[in-house]
Structure 1
Amino acid sequence: MQLNREHTSFGRHETFPLRFGWLPKSLLALGDSPELFEHPESAMRRLGVGRNMVNAIHYWLRVCGLVSFEDKPARITALGTALLGPEADPYLEDDATLWIIHWLIASNAELATGFFWFFNRFAAPRFTEADALSALSDFAAAELRLNRAATTLKSDISTLLRLYAAVPGRTDEHLDALLAPLGLIEADPEGGYRSPRAPRPFLPLVALEFAIAQRFAAEPDQPALSVRGLLYAEGDWAAPGAVFRLNEDGLMRHLDELLAAYPGRYELRDTAGLHQLYWLERDKRPEPLAVLNRYYR
C-alpha cells in the first residue's frame, strides 16, 4: 500500500490481464489441491490454460492477496475467504467485488508497481499509450533509480489498458477488460484514452470503507487521516480518492455517506486548518476483513 523503492516489480503478469474466471476458479481448485501451483502440468489441466497463463494466474492471486505462496502448500488467505469464499462472492457476481479487486491491485506498490503508479501518480485526464509509457519510464528512472527495459514497462501499460479500457472493435473484450465496467479508463473517441476524476456516485460504499480501513490499519497509531491524503497520494501511500478516480466533491459526498452509515465511528474535523477523517472507536482499530464480512454475510 506504501511505495517502497527497494521493492518494486514490473511486467510479472506475462502480458495477460486478469480475466473473469481466474480468481474464483483458482480458489476453488486450491481448496481441493493446495499444492496445485507446485505442479504446472496439473495446474494447466485443472484450470484449462497454458503454462504462461498459469504463471499469470499465480501472479494475480498474489497481487490481490487472495493466496499466500510463502509456505508450502499454498493457502487461501483470510482476505481470499472474506472476498471470494463460499459465504462471500464466490462467483464474482457483485459489482462491489470488482471495485475492491481494483483497489487491491492499484494499491499494491510492491507487486504491481506500474498499476500503483498509474492510479496514484499519473494524473493526466487524457493521454495516449505512448504518453503513459513515457511518464512511467521517467518515474522508474528518476524516482526509483531503475533502468527497466522499455519492453517491460510497455507490457505493464498495455496490460493495464486491456484490463481497464474497453476499446471498440477489439474482439477479446469479454476476456481481457474485466475492470472496464468500473469506467476508470475509457477509450477517447478522438484518440487515446480518458481517465478523469469524477464524482462516481455508483462507487459502492463498501469499497471506499474497505480502502479507508486498510489505510487506518496500516498506521495503527494514527487517529486520523488527512482528507487531502485520501484524495491525493501523499507520502507514497495509495490514496482511495486517486485509485477510485474521485474528484474532491465526489470524495466528500462518499465520506458523508460513510459518516451517516456509521455514526459514532468516523468524524470529519478541521484541526489547525487541516481537514481530517477521525476514527472514533479508539479501543477498537478498523478491521478491513470485518468490513467485508459485514457486507457479504
Structure 2
Amino acid sequence: MSSDRQVNRFSGHESFICRYGWLPKVYRAVKNDASLLRNDERATQALGIGRNMVKSMQFWGEASGVLRSANERGHEPGPVGKLLFGGRSPWDSHLESLESLWLIHWYLVSKGGLAAWSEVFGEGNLIRFEKKQLVAALAQRGEGAARPLAMSTLEQHASIFIQSYYQEERGTDDTLWCPLQDLGLMKAIKSESGSTVYNTEAKAPVGLTCRIFGIALTDFIANSENGQSIEFQRLLKSPGSPGLVFRLDEAQLRIFVDKLVELNPTAIRFVDTADTQNVIIDLEKIDQQYRLQLEEVAHA
C-alpha cells in the first residue's frame, strides 16, 4: 500500500453499500467526462441519483480501484476499472462474473484503506464475531485519529461492512444488494444467547480464478521485504496475504500455487525442503496478465 493512502478510513460511503451496477456506471460516466464528479449538479443529473449517493458512488469507485483522482482534471479510470471495463477487450463490461468481484475484494482490502476491511480480511483479527465486537475493534483502531470518532460513525461503518458481504434474504430490493455478497465470504448464525455471529472462516472460494490469485500473489510478494520470495506460511497467514484476504486454507492455497507454477514454470517456483516451503517469483518473467494491476497501482 502506498504511503500516502489512508489506512483507517471509517467514513465516506455516506451510509450506502456499493450497489449493483454502480461501478460500471461511474466508470463510464467518468470516462466520458473526467470532471463530472467535481460538479454536484451535473453529476446528479448525469447519474440520476441524489448528491449523497453520488458521493458514495465516487467513494466506492475510488476504493475499488475503478476510479482514481486526477487532481485538477477530476477523475480517470483506475487500474481495476481499466482492466474490467476499459480497452478493446474488457474483462467484464457489466460486472457479471465472480472473478471480477474477487479482484475488487482484493483491491478493497489491500489498497482501499477501509478500517473494517483491514480488521477482518486484511489482518484476520476477527474471524467469527458479533457486530458489537467489530465496533469495539474499530474503536480501538481509531484511537489515534486526529479527531475522536463518534460511536455512530463506528456503528455505521461496521454495518456497511457487514451489509457489503452478507444479506439475510435476497428480495426484490436492489438497495440491499452489494455484488460482493455473491462471494459467500460471510455467513451468519444465531448464538445460544440469540445474537447474530458473523463467520468468515476459510472455505472453498467459489469463482476465484488462477488469474486473480496470480495478480494478488504478484502484488503481495512484490511489496514484501524480499520482493521476490516468500514463505508459504506467510502467504497463508500474514496480514494482507492472499491466503488471509481470500480466506483460503492450506490445501486450497497449495492448489493455486501449484497451478500458477504449472502455468508460469520459468517465472514461479515452489521450493519444498525439509526446513521450509518458499514461493519464488521472477517479476521480470511473470506473465503480464498478473502485472497489469501492479503496474497501474505503482503510478497511482
Tell me, yes or no, whether TM beats 0.5.
yes
Q: Quick check: 1:99 aligned with 2:102? A: yes
SS in 2 for 1:264: coil
Question: Aligned-pair distance for 1:29?
Answer: 1.2
User: Could you tell me which amino acid in structure 1 is paired with residue 86 of structure 2?
Assistant: G
Report the equivalent of 2:236. 231
2:34 equivalent to 1:34: yes
- RCO comparison, higher one (Cα < 8 Å, 6+): 1
Paired AA for residue 105 in structure 1: L
Distance 1:145 1:241 in 2: 33
Deviation at 1:291, TM superposition (A): 9.1
The question of 1:267 aligning with 2:269 is answered: yes
Query: How far apart are residue 63 of structure 1 and its match?
Result: 0.8
Sort the Cα spacing of 1:32 and 1:8 in 2 relative to 1 into closer, same or farther, 3 A. same
Find the aligned partners of 1:6 and 1:61 in 2 and give their Cα distance: 16
Shift of 1:267: 0.9
Q: Secondary structure at the match of 1:277?
A: strand
Q: In structure 1, what is the equivalent of residue 298 of structure 2?
A: none
CA 226–103 in structure 1, closer or farther in 2 if over 3 Å, else same: same
Answer with 116-125 or 21-30: which moved more.
Answer: 116-125
Written as runs of structure 1 = structure 2, the 5 A alignment for 1:75-114 is 75-86=76-87, 87-88=89-90, 89-108=92-111, 110=113, 112-114=114-116
TM-score by length of 2: 0.84
Instruction: Give the equivalent residue in structure 2 for 1:164.
Output: 165
User: Does the aligned pair in 2 maintain the 1:124–1:196 contact within 8 Å?
Assistant: no
Moved more, 266-275 or 204-213: 266-275
Instruction: Note if 1:215 corresponds to 2:217.
Output: no
Q: 2:100 & 2:139 partners in 1: Cα distance? A: 31
Could you tell me which residue of structure 2 aligns to residue 12 of structure 1?
Answer: 12
1:246, CA displacement in angstroms? Answer: 0.9
Question: Could you tell which deviates more after superposition, 200-209 or 3-12?
Answer: 3-12
| Runs of at least 5 residues in structure 2 that lack an aligned partner in the other structure | 296-300
How much does 1:41 deviate? Answer: 1.2
Are the equivalent residues in 2 in contact too, given 1:231–1:242 (CA < 8 A)? yes
Distance in 1, matches of 2:42 and 2:12, equals 21
1:49–1:290 Cα change, 3 Å: closer
Corresponding residue of 2:183: 182
Contact 1:126-1:195 within 8 A present in 2 as well: yes
| Structure 2 SS opposite 1:192 | strand
Please tell me the residue identity of whatever aligns with 2:156: S
CA distance in 2, matches of 1:256, 1:283: 17
**Counterpart residue number, 1:295:** none
Separation (CA, whole Å) in 1 of partners of 2:152 and 2:274:
48
Gap runs ≥5 in structure 1: 293-297
* % identity of equivalent residues: 26
Q: Aligned to 2:71, what secondary structure does the other structure show? A: coil
CA distance in structure 1 between the aligned counterparts of 2:44 and 2:234, rounded to whole angstroms: 43
CA-to-partner distance for each residue in 1:29-84, whole Å, 9 max, x for gaps? 11211110111111111111111111111111111222222422222134421222
Q: 1:72 to 1:250 in 2, by over 3 A?
A: same
Q: Take 1:98 and 1:290, find their aligned partners in 2: how far apart are those partners?
A: 14
Match of 1:241 in 2: 243
**Cα separation, partners in 2 of 1:291 and 1:9, compared to 1, 3 Å:** closer
Q: Which moved more, 1:21-30 or 1:160-169?
A: 160-169
